[in-house]
Amino acid sequence: MKNRGLLLVVSGPAGAGKGTICGTFMQRHPQVHLSVSATTRAPRAMEQEGIHYYFLQQQQFEQMIAQDAFIEWANFCGNYYGTPRAKVEEKLAAGQDVLLEIEVQGAMQVKKKFPEAVLIFILPPSMEELRSRIIGRGTETMEVIDRRMARAAEEVELAQQYDYFILNDTVEEATDRFESIVQAEKIKVSRNLTLLKEVRGQ
Amino acid sequence: MKNRGLLLVVSGPAGAGKGTICGTFMQRHPQVHLSVSATTRAPRAMEQEGIHYYFLQQQQFEQMIAQDAFIEWANFCGNYYGTPRAKVEEKLAAGQDVLLEIEVQGAMQVKKKFPEAVLIFILPPSMEELRSRIIGRGTETMEVIDRRMARAAEEVELAQQYDYFILNDTVEEATDRFESIVQAEKIKVSRNLTLLKEVRGQ
Protein backbone atom coordinates (compact mmCIF):
# COMPACT_ATOMS: atom_id res chain seq x y z
CA MET A 1 0.00 0.00 0.00
CA LYS A 2 1.28 3.43 -0.91
CA ASN A 3 1.77 5.87 1.96
CA ARG A 4 -0.06 9.18 1.96
CA GLY A 5 2.10 12.08 0.85
CA LEU A 6 3.59 14.51 3.37
CA LEU A 7 1.83 17.81 3.93
CA LEU A 8 4.67 20.32 4.29
CA VAL A 9 3.77 23.75 5.65
CA VAL A 10 6.38 26.50 5.43
CA SER A 11 6.07 29.91 7.07
CA GLY A 12 8.39 32.67 8.20
CA PRO A 13 8.61 36.44 8.39
CA ALA A 14 8.90 38.44 5.17
CA GLY A 15 12.60 38.78 4.43
CA ALA A 16 13.60 35.50 6.08
CA GLY A 17 13.89 33.94 2.64
CA LYS A 18 11.14 31.32 2.67
CA GLY A 19 10.29 31.94 -1.00
CA THR A 20 13.88 31.31 -2.09
CA ILE A 21 14.21 28.17 0.04
CA CYS A 22 10.90 26.75 -1.22
CA GLY A 23 11.91 27.59 -4.79
CA THR A 24 15.26 25.82 -4.44
CA PHE A 25 13.57 22.85 -2.79
CA MET A 26 11.01 22.62 -5.63
CA GLN A 27 13.82 22.74 -8.22
CA ARG A 28 15.46 19.78 -6.53
CA HIS A 29 12.12 17.95 -6.07
CA PRO A 30 9.82 18.84 -8.98
CA GLN A 31 7.57 15.86 -8.10
CA VAL A 32 6.37 17.72 -4.99
CA HIS A 33 3.07 19.54 -5.53
CA LEU A 34 3.29 23.26 -4.74
CA SER A 35 -0.16 24.40 -3.67
CA VAL A 36 -1.42 27.62 -5.26
CA SER A 37 -3.45 29.93 -3.00
CA ALA A 38 -6.70 31.61 -3.93
CA THR A 39 -7.24 35.32 -3.31
CA THR A 40 -9.76 38.07 -3.98
CA ARG A 41 -7.14 40.78 -4.34
CA ALA A 42 -6.44 42.15 -7.82
CA PRO A 43 -3.58 40.53 -9.78
CA ARG A 44 -0.35 42.54 -9.80
CA ALA A 45 1.67 42.98 -12.99
CA MET A 46 3.36 39.68 -13.94
CA GLU A 47 1.09 37.60 -11.72
CA GLN A 48 -0.55 34.73 -13.61
CA GLU A 49 -3.80 32.94 -12.85
CA GLY A 50 -3.14 29.45 -11.50
CA ILE A 51 0.60 30.03 -11.10
CA HIS A 52 0.90 32.78 -8.51
CA TYR A 53 -2.72 32.70 -7.33
CA TYR A 54 -6.18 31.67 -8.32
CA PHE A 55 -7.92 35.04 -8.60
CA LEU A 56 -11.53 34.80 -7.40
CA GLN A 57 -14.46 37.17 -6.97
CA GLN A 58 -15.46 37.81 -3.36
CA GLN A 59 -18.75 35.95 -3.86
CA GLN A 60 -16.98 32.89 -5.23
CA PHE A 61 -14.56 32.89 -2.31
CA GLU A 62 -17.34 33.21 0.28
CA GLN A 63 -19.27 30.39 -1.38
CA MET A 64 -16.17 28.17 -1.11
CA ILE A 65 -15.81 29.10 2.59
CA ALA A 66 -19.43 28.05 3.10
CA GLN A 67 -18.70 24.72 1.38
CA ASP A 68 -15.63 24.13 3.62
CA ALA A 69 -13.57 24.10 0.42
CA PHE A 70 -10.53 25.72 2.05
CA ILE A 71 -7.99 24.05 4.31
CA GLU A 72 -7.25 27.47 5.73
CA TRP A 73 -8.28 30.98 4.87
CA ALA A 74 -8.01 34.50 6.26
CA ASN A 75 -8.95 38.05 5.45
CA PHE A 76 -6.08 40.59 5.38
CA CYS A 77 -6.83 44.26 4.71
CA GLY A 78 -10.18 43.42 3.13
CA ASN A 79 -8.89 40.69 0.82
CA TYR A 80 -9.40 36.97 1.24
CA TYR A 81 -6.55 34.47 0.95
CA GLY A 82 -6.94 30.71 1.23
CA THR A 83 -5.70 27.24 0.32
CA PRO A 84 -8.24 25.27 -1.77
CA ARG A 85 -8.77 21.83 -0.28
CA ALA A 86 -9.58 19.58 -3.27
CA LYS A 87 -6.20 19.36 -5.00
CA VAL A 88 -4.27 19.06 -1.74
CA GLU A 89 -6.42 16.10 -0.61
CA GLU A 90 -6.16 14.46 -4.04
CA LYS A 91 -2.34 14.70 -4.19
CA LEU A 92 -1.84 13.50 -0.61
CA ALA A 93 -4.13 10.50 -1.20
CA ALA A 94 -2.10 9.64 -4.31
CA GLY A 95 1.06 9.58 -2.20
CA GLN A 96 2.44 12.86 -3.53
CA ASP A 97 4.01 15.36 -1.14
CA VAL A 98 2.37 18.79 -1.00
CA LEU A 99 4.05 22.07 -0.08
CA LEU A 100 2.10 25.03 1.34
CA GLU A 101 3.87 28.36 1.79
CA ILE A 102 1.44 30.20 4.07
CA GLU A 103 1.03 32.66 6.94
CA VAL A 104 1.39 31.56 10.56
CA GLN A 105 -2.35 31.90 11.28
CA GLY A 106 -3.12 29.68 8.28
CA ALA A 107 -0.50 27.17 9.39
CA MET A 108 -2.20 26.89 12.80
CA GLN A 109 -5.51 26.09 11.05
CA VAL A 110 -3.82 23.42 8.93
CA LYS A 111 -2.24 21.82 12.00
CA LYS A 112 -5.67 21.47 13.60
CA LYS A 113 -7.24 19.82 10.55
CA PHE A 114 -4.14 17.77 9.58
CA PRO A 115 -2.31 16.84 12.78
CA GLU A 116 0.14 14.80 10.68
CA ALA A 117 1.24 17.93 8.73
CA VAL A 118 4.90 18.94 9.08
CA LEU A 119 5.24 22.60 10.09
CA ILE A 120 8.52 24.31 9.25
CA PHE A 121 9.41 27.84 10.26
CA ILE A 122 12.11 29.74 8.37
CA LEU A 123 14.19 31.94 10.65
CA PRO A 124 16.59 34.70 9.75
CA PRO A 125 19.97 34.31 11.53
CA SER A 126 18.86 37.17 13.81
CA MET A 127 16.32 40.00 13.94
CA GLU A 128 19.13 42.49 13.15
CA GLU A 129 20.00 40.47 10.06
CA LEU A 130 16.31 40.43 9.08
CA ARG A 131 16.14 44.21 9.42
CA SER A 132 19.20 44.69 7.24
CA ARG A 133 17.76 42.29 4.63
CA ILE A 134 14.52 44.27 4.52
CA ILE A 135 16.45 47.56 4.35
CA GLY A 136 18.77 46.00 1.75
CA ARG A 137 15.91 45.64 -0.69
CA GLY A 138 15.92 49.43 -0.79
CA THR A 139 12.26 49.59 -1.70
CA GLU A 140 10.66 50.21 1.70
CA THR A 141 10.17 53.33 3.81
CA MET A 142 11.33 53.29 7.44
CA GLU A 143 7.72 53.15 8.56
CA VAL A 144 7.09 50.00 6.51
CA ILE A 145 10.33 48.50 7.83
CA ASP A 146 9.31 49.11 11.45
CA ARG A 147 5.86 47.61 10.82
CA ARG A 148 7.42 44.54 9.17
CA MET A 149 9.84 44.10 12.06
CA ALA A 150 7.03 44.27 14.62
CA ARG A 151 5.07 41.73 12.65
CA ALA A 152 8.15 39.47 12.27
CA ALA A 153 8.59 39.49 16.05
CA GLU A 154 4.97 38.36 16.47
CA GLU A 155 5.45 35.60 13.92
CA VAL A 156 8.65 34.30 15.51
CA GLU A 157 6.68 34.11 18.78
CA LEU A 158 4.36 31.61 17.05
CA ALA A 159 7.32 29.58 15.74
CA GLN A 160 7.12 27.63 19.01
CA GLN A 161 4.00 25.93 17.65
CA TYR A 162 5.92 24.57 14.67
CA ASP A 163 7.67 21.20 14.40
CA TYR A 164 10.97 22.37 12.91
CA PHE A 165 12.79 25.60 12.28
CA ILE A 166 15.36 26.28 9.58
CA LEU A 167 17.90 29.00 10.19
CA ASN A 168 18.44 30.62 6.79
CA ASP A 169 22.16 31.41 6.86
CA THR A 170 22.78 30.22 3.28
CA VAL A 171 20.13 29.03 0.82
CA GLU A 172 22.03 25.82 0.01
CA GLU A 173 22.39 24.78 3.64
CA ALA A 174 18.85 25.80 4.48
CA THR A 175 17.53 23.70 1.56
CA ASP A 176 19.67 20.75 2.69
CA ARG A 177 18.02 20.99 6.11
CA PHE A 178 14.61 21.11 4.49
CA GLU A 179 15.48 17.90 2.61
CA SER A 180 16.64 16.21 5.81
CA ILE A 181 13.31 17.00 7.47
CA VAL A 182 11.38 15.49 4.56
CA GLN A 183 13.63 12.43 4.43
CA ALA A 184 13.36 11.84 8.20
CA GLU A 185 9.59 12.39 8.34
CA LYS A 186 9.12 9.77 5.61
CA ILE A 187 10.81 7.10 7.72
CA LYS A 188 9.00 7.83 10.96
CA VAL A 189 7.58 4.62 12.36
CA SER A 190 4.21 6.32 12.97
CA ARG A 191 3.84 6.93 9.22
CA ASN A 192 4.84 3.39 8.22
CA LEU A 193 2.96 0.89 10.36
CA THR A 194 1.71 -0.88 7.22
CA LEU A 195 5.23 -1.29 5.85
CA LEU A 196 6.39 -2.74 9.16
CA LYS A 197 3.64 -5.35 8.93
CA GLU A 198 4.74 -6.18 5.39
CA VAL A 199 8.33 -6.74 6.52
CA ARG A 200 7.03 -9.17 9.16
CA GLY A 201 5.26 -10.93 6.28
CA GLN A 202 1.74 -10.33 7.57
CA MET B 1 23.61 28.27 25.52
CA LYS B 2 24.78 25.00 24.00
CA ASN B 3 22.07 22.40 23.36
CA ARG B 4 22.32 18.96 24.95
CA GLY B 5 23.64 16.31 22.58
CA LEU B 6 21.27 13.84 20.92
CA LEU B 7 20.96 10.38 22.45
CA LEU B 8 20.76 8.08 19.40
CA VAL B 9 19.67 4.51 20.06
CA VAL B 10 20.06 1.97 17.25
CA SER B 11 18.67 -1.58 17.31
CA GLY B 12 17.72 -4.21 14.80
CA PRO B 13 17.78 -7.96 14.30
CA ALA B 14 21.12 -9.74 13.85
CA GLY B 15 21.85 -9.75 10.12
CA ALA B 16 20.00 -6.50 9.38
CA GLY B 17 23.32 -4.71 9.19
CA LYS B 18 23.12 -2.30 12.13
CA GLY B 19 26.82 -2.72 12.94
CA THR B 20 27.85 -1.75 9.40
CA ILE B 21 25.50 1.26 9.29
CA CYS B 22 26.67 2.52 12.70
CA GLY B 23 30.30 2.00 11.61
CA THR B 24 29.78 4.01 8.41
CA PHE B 25 27.94 6.71 10.33
CA MET B 26 30.77 6.95 12.89
CA GLN B 27 33.35 7.22 10.09
CA ARG B 28 31.42 10.18 8.67
CA HIS B 29 30.86 11.71 12.13
CA PRO B 30 33.85 10.86 14.35
CA GLN B 31 32.79 13.59 16.81
CA VAL B 32 29.81 11.44 17.90
CA HIS B 33 30.52 9.43 21.05
CA LEU B 34 29.98 5.68 20.55
CA SER B 35 29.03 4.23 23.91
CA VAL B 36 30.86 1.02 24.91
CA SER B 37 28.77 -1.57 26.77
CA ALA B 38 29.84 -3.45 29.87
CA THR B 39 29.49 -7.23 30.14
CA THR B 40 30.36 -10.10 32.44
CA ARG B 41 30.89 -12.59 29.62
CA ALA B 42 34.45 -13.63 28.81
CA PRO B 43 36.27 -11.68 26.07
CA ARG B 44 36.43 -13.44 22.71
CA ALA B 45 39.62 -13.52 20.64
CA MET B 46 40.34 -10.03 19.19
CA GLU B 47 37.97 -8.28 21.62
CA GLN B 48 39.66 -5.43 23.46
CA GLU B 49 38.82 -3.94 26.85
CA GLY B 50 37.23 -0.50 26.46
CA ILE B 51 36.84 -0.84 22.69
CA HIS B 52 34.43 -3.74 22.17
CA TYR B 53 33.28 -3.99 25.80
CA TYR B 54 34.23 -3.16 29.34
CA PHE B 55 34.74 -6.64 30.81
CA LEU B 56 33.58 -6.75 34.43
CA GLN B 57 33.31 -9.35 37.19
CA GLN B 58 29.76 -10.32 38.14
CA GLN B 59 30.15 -8.69 41.55
CA GLN B 60 31.32 -5.39 40.02
CA PHE B 61 28.39 -5.43 37.61
CA GLU B 62 25.83 -6.12 40.37
CA GLN B 63 27.33 -3.35 42.50
CA MET B 64 26.87 -0.93 39.59
CA ILE B 65 23.26 -2.09 39.18
CA ALA B 66 22.69 -1.35 42.88
CA GLN B 67 24.17 2.14 42.37
CA ASP B 68 21.88 2.79 39.37
CA ALA B 69 25.05 3.21 37.32
CA PHE B 70 23.51 1.71 34.15
CA ILE B 71 21.10 3.43 31.75
CA GLU B 72 19.92 -0.03 30.76
CA TRP B 73 21.04 -3.55 31.52
CA ALA B 74 19.87 -7.12 30.97
CA ASN B 75 20.94 -10.67 31.64
CA PHE B 76 21.18 -12.97 28.59
CA CYS B 77 22.10 -16.62 29.07
CA GLY B 78 23.65 -15.96 32.47
CA ASN B 79 25.74 -12.97 31.37
CA TYR B 80 25.09 -9.34 32.18
CA TYR B 81 25.17 -6.62 29.52
CA GLY B 82 24.64 -2.91 30.18
CA THR B 83 25.30 0.70 29.22
CA PRO B 84 27.27 2.59 31.89
CA ARG B 85 25.56 5.87 32.68
CA ALA B 86 28.37 8.28 33.66
CA LYS B 87 30.06 8.85 30.29
CA VAL B 88 26.76 9.09 28.40
CA GLU B 89 25.45 11.78 30.77
CA GLU B 90 28.75 13.68 30.62
CA LYS B 91 28.88 13.74 26.80
CA LEU B 92 25.22 14.73 26.39
CA ALA B 93 25.61 17.57 28.89
CA ALA B 94 28.64 18.82 26.94
CA GLY B 95 26.49 18.95 23.79
CA GLN B 96 28.05 15.88 22.18
CA ASP B 97 25.81 13.34 20.43
CA VAL B 98 25.94 9.79 21.81
CA LEU B 99 25.26 6.59 19.88
CA LEU B 100 24.08 3.41 21.63
CA GLU B 101 23.85 0.19 19.61
CA ILE B 102 21.72 -1.99 21.89
CA GLU B 103 19.03 -4.68 22.12
CA VAL B 104 15.35 -3.80 21.85
CA GLN B 105 14.67 -4.47 25.56
CA GLY B 106 17.52 -2.11 26.50
CA ALA B 107 16.22 0.51 24.07
CA MET B 108 12.82 0.42 25.79
CA GLN B 109 14.53 1.08 29.15
CA VAL B 110 16.44 4.02 27.64
CA LYS B 111 13.25 5.52 26.20
CA LYS B 112 11.64 5.48 29.66
CA LYS B 113 14.58 7.23 31.32
CA PHE B 114 15.38 9.58 28.40
CA PRO B 115 12.10 10.42 26.64
CA GLU B 116 14.03 12.77 24.34
CA ALA B 117 16.18 9.88 23.02
CA VAL B 118 15.89 9.12 19.29
CA LEU B 119 15.15 5.42 18.68
CA ILE B 120 16.08 4.04 15.29
CA PHE B 121 15.32 0.52 14.15
CA ILE B 122 17.31 -1.04 11.30
CA LEU B 123 15.17 -3.25 9.08
CA PRO B 124 16.26 -5.76 6.48
CA PRO B 125 14.43 -5.24 3.14
CA SER B 126 12.35 -8.34 4.04
CA MET B 127 12.44 -11.34 6.35
CA GLU B 128 13.40 -13.57 3.37
CA GLU B 129 16.32 -11.26 2.65
CA LEU B 130 17.31 -11.44 6.33
CA ARG B 131 17.24 -15.23 6.23
CA SER B 132 19.41 -15.33 3.12
CA ARG B 133 21.86 -12.87 4.72
CA ILE B 134 22.12 -15.07 7.82
CA ILE B 135 22.53 -18.18 5.66
CA GLY B 136 24.99 -16.29 3.46
CA ARG B 137 27.42 -15.97 6.35
CA GLY B 138 27.78 -19.75 6.04
CA THR B 139 28.74 -20.12 9.68
CA GLU B 140 25.40 -21.12 11.23
CA THR B 141 23.52 -24.40 11.49
CA MET B 142 19.89 -24.48 10.33
CA GLU B 143 18.78 -24.71 13.96
CA VAL B 144 20.60 -21.48 14.81
CA ILE B 145 19.18 -19.83 11.68
CA ASP B 146 15.61 -20.74 12.67
CA ARG B 147 16.17 -19.48 16.22
CA ARG B 148 17.59 -16.20 14.88
CA MET B 149 14.64 -15.77 12.51
CA ALA B 150 12.10 -16.33 15.30
CA ARG B 151 13.94 -13.80 17.44
CA ALA B 152 14.13 -11.30 14.55
CA ALA B 153 10.34 -11.53 14.10
CA GLU B 154 9.89 -10.72 17.81
CA GLU B 155 12.25 -7.76 17.51
CA VAL B 156 10.54 -6.33 14.42
CA GLU B 157 7.28 -6.51 16.41
CA LEU B 158 8.85 -4.09 18.90
CA ALA B 159 9.99 -1.76 16.11
CA GLN B 160 6.60 -0.06 16.45
CA GLN B 161 7.85 1.47 19.70
CA TYR B 162 10.71 3.19 17.86
CA ASP B 163 10.73 6.70 16.38
CA TYR B 164 12.27 5.88 12.99
CA PHE B 165 13.13 2.84 10.94
CA ILE B 166 15.84 2.54 8.33
CA LEU B 167 15.40 -0.02 5.58
CA ASN B 168 18.91 -1.35 4.92
CA ASP B 169 18.88 -1.87 1.16
CA THR B 170 22.35 -0.38 0.62
CA VAL B 171 24.75 0.78 3.33
CA GLU B 172 25.29 4.18 1.69
CA GLU B 173 21.61 4.98 1.40
CA ALA B 174 20.86 3.64 4.86
CA THR B 175 23.62 5.83 6.32
CA ASP B 176 22.29 8.86 4.40
CA ARG B 177 18.90 8.25 6.03
CA PHE B 178 20.56 8.00 9.43
CA GLU B 179 22.19 11.39 8.79
CA SER B 180 18.86 12.93 7.79
CA ILE B 181 17.29 11.78 11.04
CA VAL B 182 20.10 13.36 13.08
CA GLN B 183 19.98 16.57 11.05
CA ALA B 184 16.19 16.86 11.37
CA GLU B 185 16.12 16.04 15.10
CA LYS B 186 18.65 18.81 15.75
CA ILE B 187 16.33 21.44 14.26
CA LYS B 188 13.16 20.34 16.02
CA VAL B 189 11.55 23.32 17.68
CA SER B 190 11.09 21.35 20.90
CA ARG B 191 14.88 20.98 21.24
CA ASN B 192 15.62 24.65 20.48
CA LEU B 193 13.34 26.86 22.54
CA THR B 194 16.34 28.75 23.90
CA LEU B 195 17.64 29.53 20.43
CA LEU B 196 14.21 30.80 19.37
CA LYS B 197 14.27 33.21 22.31
CA GLU B 198 17.72 34.39 21.26
CA VAL B 199 16.52 35.12 17.72
CA ARG B 200 13.72 37.21 19.19
CA GLY B 201 16.46 39.04 21.08
CA GLN B 202 15.22 38.18 24.57
Chain A: closest CA distance from residue B7 (Å): 16
pLDDT number for residue A202: 55
pLDDT number for residue B125: 79
Average pLDDT, rounded, for chain A: 91
Inter-chain contact A189–B159, Cβ cutoff 8 Å? yes
Q: What residue ranges of chain B have pLDDT lower than 70?
A: 1, 201-202
Inter-chain contact A199–B157, Cβ cutoff 8 Å? no
Q: Which of B187, B190, B193 is most worth mutating to test chain A (most A CB atoms within 10 A of its CB)?
A: B187
* Chain B residues closer than 8 Å to A184 by CB: 164, 177, 180-181, 183-185
In contact, A70 and A84? CB cutoff 8 Å: yes
pLDDT mean over A143-154: 83
> Least CB-CB distance to B199: which of A156, A163, A184?
A156
Give the B-side interface with A, CB within 8 Å. Answer: 121, 123-127, 153, 156-157, 159-167, 176-177, 179-181, 183-185, 187-189, 192-193, 195-196, 198-201
- Smallest CA–CA distance from A118 into chain B, residue: B188
- A7-35+96-199 under CATH 3.30.465.10, yes or no: no
For B82-97, how does the pLDDT look when each residue is reduced to its tens digit (9 = 90+)? 999 999 999 999 999 9
* Chain A residues closer than 8 Å to B150 by CB: none
Q: Give the domain ranges of chain A.
A: 7-35+96-199
* Chain A residues closer than 8 Å to B125 by CB: 199
Chain B: closest CA distance from residue A55 (Å): 35
pLDDT number for residue A147: 83
pLDDT number for residue B202: 55
Inter-chain contact B199–A153, Cβ cutoff 8 Å? no
* Chain B residues closer than 8 Å to A166 by CB: 187
Residue in A160, A30, A162, A43 with CA at minimum distance from that of residue A96: A30
Inter-chain contact B196–A160, Cβ cutoff 8 Å? yes
Distance, in Å, from the CA atom of B122 to the CA atom of B174, rounded to the nearest integer, reads: 9
- Which residues lie closer than 8 Å to B63 by C-beta, 6 or more apart? none
CA separation, residue A139 to residues A47, A124, A135, A143, A150 (Å): 19, 19, 8, 12, 18
| Distance in angstroms between the alpha carbons of the first and the last residue of chain B | 13
pLDDT mean over A63-83: 94
Cβ count near B36 (within 10 Å): 16
Q: Which residue has the higher pLDDT, A35 or A132?
A: A35
Q: Which residue has the higher pLDDT, A202 or A139?
A: A139
pLDDT number for residue B132: 82
Inter-chain contact A177–B189, Cβ cutoff 8 Å? no
* Chain B residues closer than 8 Å to A199 by CB: 123-127, 156
Chain B: closest CA distance from residue A166 (Å): 7
Inter-chain contact A188–B163, Cβ cutoff 8 Å? yes
For A174-185, how does the pLDDT look when each residue is reduced to its tens digit (9 = 90+)? 999 999 999 999
Inter-chain contact B127–A199, Cβ cutoff 8 Å? yes
* Chain B residues closer than 8 Å to A181 by CB: 180, 183-184, 187
Report pTM.
0.89
Beta bridge partners of B49: B53
pLDDT number for residue A1: 55
Inter-chain contact B126–A184, Cβ cutoff 8 Å? no
What value of ipTM does the predicted structure carry? 0.88
* Chain A residues closer than 8 Å to B193 by CB: 160
Chain A: closest CA distance from residue B194 (Å): 10
pLDDT number for residue A127: 78
- CATH architecture, domain B7-199: 3-Layer(aba) Sandwich (3.40)
pLDDT number for residue B124: 86
Whether the per-residue pLDDT at A114 is higher than 80: the answer is yes
